[in-house]
Amino acid sequence: MVTITDIAAKAGVSKATVSYVLNERATAVRISEDTRQRVMEAATELGYRRNELARAVTTGKSRMLGFWVMESQHEPVARVLAGAMKEANLHDYFIKMLGFDNEANPQRIIEQCIEWRLAGIITIHASPVALDHLHPQIERFEIPMVLVDCQGPRTGSIHITSDQIQGVRLAIEHLVSLGHRKIAYVTGRAAENELLSHRRAEAYQQVMQERGLDEHINVVYGNWDTAHTEAETRRLLSLPQDSPLRPTAIACWSDLTAMVVIRTATQMGIRVPEELSVTGFDDLAGAALYNPPLTTVSQAFEEIGSTAVRRLLNGPNGTPVKQKQCREEVLPVRLIVRASTAPVAN
Amino acid sequence: MVTITDIAAKAGVSKATVSYVLNERATAVRISEDTRQRVMEAATELGYRRNELARAVTTGKSRMLGFWVMESQHEPVARVLAGAMKEANLHDYFIKMLGFDNEANPQRIIEQCIEWRLAGIITIHASPVALDHLHPQIERFEIPMVLVDCQGPRTGSIHITSDQIQGVRLAIEHLVSLGHRKIAYVTGRAAENELLSHRRAEAYQQVMQERGLDEHINVVYGNWDTAHTEAETRRLLSLPQDSPLRPTAIACWSDLTAMVVIRTATQMGIRVPEELSVTGFDDLAGAALYNPPLTTVSQAFEEIGSTAVRRLLNGPNGTPVKQKQCREEVLPVRLIVRASTAPVAN
DNA sequence: GTGAAAGCGCTAACAC
DNA sequence: GTGTTAGCGCTTTCAC
């Protein structure tokens, strides 16, 4: 592997000169155009490729960003990652994957971040437990971190997420505008620390109250479980038609949940959207292809990713900024009306 | 940041000794248990974290694997990545993301691989064009590479993919066993170099021939486009019922395609699976939730990922092996029967 | 058993 | 303008 020493020898200059030329700092009143040429020629002739590892060790910065993920199989995570990669590339940074399937040993993750002198770290869907481990270390070693859609309330970091409240509002108001009043909400897990589920459920309740629909408020927990969601849906739809809690519309906290709800309704012989309107949340690739196509709230996952990277790198000339600030940054969402919602029957 | 020099000072030994202890080579007839203890204590007290960058530069190896992806938003890619990460972690290796949205500048990718002295690289869905750029360089710098689901036939690398042929066979034979004879196949793009689409379509034709169903062979191209797939589906289902080409079952080259086909059929008032059976391929998360749940061929994406890194690392004691060999490694698939297929309506 | 010293490939003061 | 020199933090040979 050819090094700058080789180039220096071939071009008849010193290592330092080569370094200057290669780093484009040549223009800065230093190297003469003549030697610059010679060095560049030597470099290309020799097929030189710089050693980023060595470079990183001398400068102390690694131009690598860690992407810490709990379960990377899901489309939203993949899309956030895609956005992050794109942005990182723009700045000549890299994404290094961190993560385990379970939350086993968050300690080891931190160690790795430090050992590789990561310039920053993005964590997505982090649990409060994991973050509690993470935080002291992060602070001690001053690694900038931004959180994406974390599961619990956090202090000490920027948190980037979609506008959950507005998203739910858009969905519910869409249903109300179609004449629905008996609108139920199927959310995620009941656990206190499920920040996102919780927030969305609360937003639902608030909108319902604003609309004077208090008596129809009906929050159901799917518990992240298909069978359970199905059972709850059945229960809901089996209520007597005149019950204030027998919904004519079901807003779901996610597209996947909406799919289960629709499928269950279909199996019960209830037609969507004619007899039951359903909304999702996320706008996954499969949402548009569903049967019927899902009316849903679209999250800008890619932009969440790129924003995360930008926040990490937003110091002057790309220096990662150390941020003690605890800030929540909320990205806009859009309602996508497709075919799983319709005006309420009669 | 504390270094081994600090530890050495604190423990009253030399840097070399510290290095030995820290690398567990202490047992090898060298360091006395006593000094080992002292060093370890000093290390933990000081909160030492090794500098992997420096380590990599001295050893020349980076323990980083590149994951080169064209479009990382898709679930299959995310799942392959998840499998790769898991396996890499097991060996204390890392995944570094490479890639662009479009195929812009594959040259730059290579440069990055070399600059970071990557221990190996996994490319997924690589186009022949990109690979043609990649290959000479890869060879020159002896970077081990494995291909996953690449788009064209390749020489010079291991190629890991699911057993496409068997997958299609399973689907078609399942349909045949349900009494279907008029089975159409909707595949991807018509382009010659769409290896996967092509292979699956060929397998379909072969099975149909084996079953003496030649006159019902009917390959349709969806062209990766929802609108086009929809139009083709409409055309197919609008053929007169007695036409040998009016299918009673449609096998699709992917789940996403199957979803479009089912939705289109539903819109036309044709009931799935009662009047039309449809099969997918992939078994995405959404397949089980579809309406109706998809009968499909499940690909072991995670295992593809883990196999890829295992092949990259399969030298003795984790040394990446340089492989000139051109080999195709085929992973088994499974038929998952759900509710989008049913016996043919006489 | 342990330490001194020479690197790895690069950057960056500082001198000329 | 260019070269010398001293690192960066670590591994590894070789001598004691």
B261-309 residue pLDDT tens: 999 999 999 999 999 999 999 999 999 999 999 999 999 999 999 999 9
Q: Is the pLDDT of residue A339 over 60?
A: yes
Q: Which residues of B touch A288 (CB under 8 A)?
A: 226
In A, minimum Cα distance to B301 occurs at A73
Distance from CA of A340 to the nearest CA of B (A): 12
pLDDT confidence tier of residue B223, bands split at 50, 70 and 90? confident
CB A162 within 8 A of CB A302: no
Q: Residue A237's pLDDT is what? A: 98
- The residue among A53, A71, A264 with the most chain B CBs within 10 A of its CB, best to mutate, is A53
The count of other CB atoms within 10 Å of the CB of residue A177 is 10
A29: nt with nearest C1' to CA: D1
Strand, coil or helix: B132: helix
Rounded, the Å distance between the CA of B28 and C1' of C4 is 21
Tell me how far apart the alpha carbons of residues A109 and A101 are, in angstroms, rounded to a whole number. Answer: 12
Say yes or no to pLDDT of A103 above 70: no
Q: How far is CA A283 from CA A170, A290, A335, A336, B287, in A?
A: 14, 11, 9, 8, 16
Confidence at residue A104, expressed as pLDDT on a 0 to 100 scale: 60
Percent share of chain B, pLDDT over 90: 63
Task: Answer yes or no: do B54 and A52 touch at CB < 8 A.
Answer: no
Q: Percent of chain A at pLDDT above 70? A: 91
Facing residue for A77 by CB, picked from B78, B111, B112 = B78
As a whole number, the mean pLDDT across chain A is 89
Query: What pLDDT shows up at residue A28?
Result: 61
pLDDT band (50, 70, 90) for residue B318: very low
What is the nearest CA distance from A84 to chain B, expressed in angstroms?
A: 10
CA of A17 to C1' of C14 (A): 14
pLDDT tens digits for range B251-261: 999 999 999 99
Average pLDDT over residues A296-320: 83
Classify the C-alpha dihedral B6-B54-B84-A73 as positive or negative: positive
Closest C1' nucleotide to A1's CA: C9
Is the CB of B97 less than 8 angstroms away from the CB of A67? yes
| Partners of residue A85 in chain B, C-beta under 8 Å | 72, 97, 99
Best mutation target among A72, A98, A108, A268 (most B Cβ atoms within 10 Å) is A72
A95–B78 C-beta distance less than 8 A: no
Gap from A115 CA to C2 C1', in Å? 27
Tokens representing B186? Answer: 């909707």
Q: Compare CB distances from A51 to B100, B115, B262 and report the shortest one's residue.
A: B115
For A233-237, B86-90, B269-273, which range has the lowest pLDDT when averaged over its residues? B86-90
pLDDT at B317: 44
Average pLDDT of the segment spanning B7-36: 84
Nearest to residue A53, comparing CAs of B51, B345, B321? B51
- What average pLDDT does the segment A134-138 reach? 81
Closest nucleotide over all strands to A17 (CA to C1'): D2
Q: Is the pLDDT of residue A230 over 90?
A: yes
- Could you tell me the pTM of the whole model? 0.91
Confidence at residue B103, expressed as pLDDT on a 0 to 100 scale = 55
What six digits make up the tokens of A153? 């309330």
> A247 with A236: CB under 8 angstroms?
yes
Is the CB of A290 less than 8 angstroms away from the CB of B263?
A: yes
- Decide: helix, strand or coil at residue A121: strand
Please state the rounded mean pLDDT for residues A158-182: 97
Average pLDDT on A124-141 reads: 82
- Which pLDDT band, with edges at 50, 70 and 90, does A345 fall under? confident
* Residue A315 pLDDT greater than 90, yes or no: no
- pLDDT above 60: residue B38: yes
| Across B120-140, average pLDDT | 84
Tell me which nucleotides of strand C come within 7 A of a protein CB: 1-13
Tell me, what's the pLDDT at A91?
A: 86
Give the CA diameter of chain B: 92
pLDDT range class, residue A318, cuts 50, 70, 90: very low
Which 3-state string (H, E, C) describes A288-304? CCCCCCCEEEECCHHHH
Across the interface, do B289 and A114 touch by the CB < 8 Å criterion? Answer: no
Candidate from A326-340, B117-131, B197-211, B228-242 with smallest mean pLDDT: B117-131
Among A49, A260, A286, whose Cβ lies nearest the Cβ of B259? A286
B282 contacts in chain A (CB < 8 Å): none
Mean per-residue pLDDT, A287-313: 96
Q: Of A79, A97, A268, which to mutate for an interface test with B (greatest number of B Cβ within 10 Å)?
A: A97
pLDDT computed for residue A319 by the predictor? 47
**Cα–Cα distances in angstroms (integers) from residue A108 to residues A100, A135, B106, in the given order:** 10, 13, 34
Cβ contact, residue pair A73, B51, below 8 Å? no
Is residue B192 very low, low, confident or very high in pLDDT (cuts 50, 70, 90)? Answer: low
With H, G, I as helix, E, B as strand and everything else as coil, classify residue A165.
Answer: helix
First to last CA, chain A: 77
pLDDT surpassing 50 at residue A277: yes
pLDDT tier, A29 (very low <50, low <70, confident <90, very high otherwise): low
Residue A110 — pLDDT band, cuts 50, 70, 90?
A: confident
* CA B328 to each of CA A248, A278, B150, B298, B299: distance values in angstroms, whole numbers, following the listed order: 54, 46, 11, 19, 16
